[in-house]
Amino acid sequence: NWRQLSKKGRIFGLRTVNSPSILEGALCLKVEDNMLIMEAIELAPHHFSQNQKRYDFVAACLIAFSCRESFNIDGDYKGFLTFVSKTHLIRWYMDKYGAELVLGQRMFIEDEQGLVLIEKYLNRKSD
């Protein structure tokens, strides 16, 4: 429920210049104890299936954006992004984004890995 999430943190949506009325994905970020937390990340339904997918890297761009936002936080956790993963996605976050498992399903992406993701997904040159 994105209305409920908006009470916890800031909501960001990913749209393209060519189709600004179509939401490709969204996320909710909040700051707690000087740490940026990705409270939720969701892709538009048309990205669930490989056959219907419009764009690659939607989740990657949202995660890289979150990493970039984490550098705006002051304190010991500047540049770190933390989140709770669904159990079946833990390995995927580790393999694809270099996330590390902390406790239970709590994961984080450290600052150096965040910079790698920012460069790869946000600063990429068009092919």
What is the dihedral sign for C-alpha 101, 105, 110, 113?
A: positive
Measured distance CA(80)–CA(113) in Å, rounded:
9
Tens of pLDDT along the chain (127 residues) come to: 777 878 888 999 999 888 899 889 999 999 999 999 999 999 888 877 766 677 789 999 999 999 999 999 999 999 999 999 999 999 999 999 999 999 999 999 999 999 999 999 999 766 5
Is residue 64 within 8 A of residue 88, CB to CB? The reply is no
Is residue 28 within 8 A of residue 9, CB to CB? The reply is yes
Phi, psi of 88 (to 5 degrees): -70, -10
Give 88: exposed, middle or buried? Use CB within 10 Å, 0-12, 13-18, 19+: exposed
- Rounded to two decimals, what is the model's pTM? 0.90
Q: What is the dihedral of CA 107, 111, 112, 115, to 10 degrees?
A: 100
- Nearest to 58, CA basis, from 31, 103, 115, 19: 19
